Amino acid sequence: MDQGSVVEGVTPSRAAQGALPLTGVPEPLWAASPSKLLAFLDCPRRYRLQYLDRPSPEKRRPRAHTSLGTAVHNALRDWWDLPERRAEAGAGLVHRAWIDVGFRDAAQSGEWRARMQDAVTAYLGEVDPQRRPVGIERTVSFVSGELRLTGRVDRLDDRDGELVVVDYKTSRVVPTDDDARTSLPLALYAAAVWKMFRRRTLRVELHHVPTGMVATHVHTDASLARKVEQARSIARDARRADRDHAERGTDSELFPPRPGPLCGWCDLRAHCPEGQAAGPEKSDWAALEEPAPTKESPWNSD
């Protein structure tokens, strides 16, 4: 799998002396994360608002499902630092990490905190406390062509000599093996781990904490390479749009909105007339209420 390399340019001293013309100097690498790439792919308008416009438009406060997901991720991270890793300790970690923002009221917050305390305790009951992961919230990166990609892996396991990328999910929509197969972030994390650890990394997993279900996919060299090329393609389009924004600002036509069901969940809809016209805004706690959200809800991508 060709993950590219950084090309060396002319040395400053020789360029300063005028010994050689500055021809063929490569462009600087374009830095991105999986979430940045997906933001451009999903809605160029949101991408512009989030990453390019200055001053940055104000976002709305976090929703309840975001607070819940962050608390659970932090609890699962902190569990590995305990001197005695007992499953029941997970409940206390959730309580300590709980973020009481976005809920309808204190009763709803307390109900969901109790649910997640039970869920984390049950999940940790299936985790071997003696097999410490290779990485916990490990930052990984790689370079491919002009793209420098950086991301953070929730957990990186070593199982019988094989590295496995693990991503925690707390949504009410249980992920499937197909979700693991098609996930661009998971594939890019695997590519980055392979690059950094110099070990073939093909297995990726989505661990659904509320149910304990695990969605799995084992990539091939070819399928991983296709995901890297997909990321590079998105990056090329985004970089071209970035340049246009640098010249034309908000007059650039390369950031069209994509109105749809997700506009009701967008943290930046207050700055997008088309998004506001797409439908009413979801309440802070909408993702916690019945009926269960669909694949169109961001509650599915915590």
Q: For residue 27, what pLDDT is reported?
A: 79
d(CA 165, CA 195): 13
Q: For residue 75, what pLDDT is reported?
A: 98
CA neighbor of 187 nearest in space, from 205, 175, 208: 205
Answer yes or no: is pLDDT of 297 > 90: no
Q: Are 150 and 33 in contact (CB under 8 A)?
A: yes
CA distances from 16 to 20, 28, 185, 221, 296 (A): 9, 20, 42, 44, 55
Q: For residue 22, what pLDDT is reported?
A: 55
CA distances from 252 to 23, 41, 247 (A): 30, 17, 8
- pLDDT per position as a tens digit, 254-279: 999 999 999 999 999 999 999 999 99
- pLDDT per position as a tens digit, 200-214: 999 999 999 999 999
- Amino acid identity of 35? S
Largest pairwise CA distance in the chain: 73
139-156 CB burial, b ≥16 within 10 A, e <16: ebebbbbbbbbebebbbb
Answer yes or no: is pLDDT of 11 > 80: no
Q: For residue 176, what pLDDT is reported?
A: 97
CA neighbor of 31 nearest in space, from 146, 186, 183: 146
Answer yes or no: is pLDDT of 301 > 80: no
Task: Please state the rounded mean pLDDT for residues 15-34.
Answer: 70
Helices (H), the chain: 12-16, 34-42, 44-47, 64-79, 89-97, 106-124, 177-182, 184-197, 221-248, 273-277
Answer yes or no: is pLDDT of 10 > 70: no
- pLDDT per position as a tens digit, 71-107: 999 999 999 999 999 999 999 999 999 999 999 999 9
Mean pLDDT lowest among 7-16, 110-119, 125-134, 238-247: 7-16
CA neighbor of 223 nearest in space, from 200, 197, 199: 200
- % pLDDT > 90, the chain: 85
d(CA 272, CA 116): 34
- % pLDDT > 70, the chain: 87
58: helix, coil or strand?
A: coil
- Amino acid identity of 25? V
Answer yes or no: is pLDDT of 220 > 60: yes
Confidence of residue 25 (pLDDT cuts 50, 70, 90): low
Q: For residue 9, what pLDDT is reported?
A: 34
Task: Please state the rounded mean pLDDT for residues 58-66.
Answer: 95
- pLDDT per position as a tens digit, 33-53: 999 999 999 999 999 999 999
Average pLDDT over all residues of the chain: 90
Answer yes or no: is pLDDT of 292 > 90: no
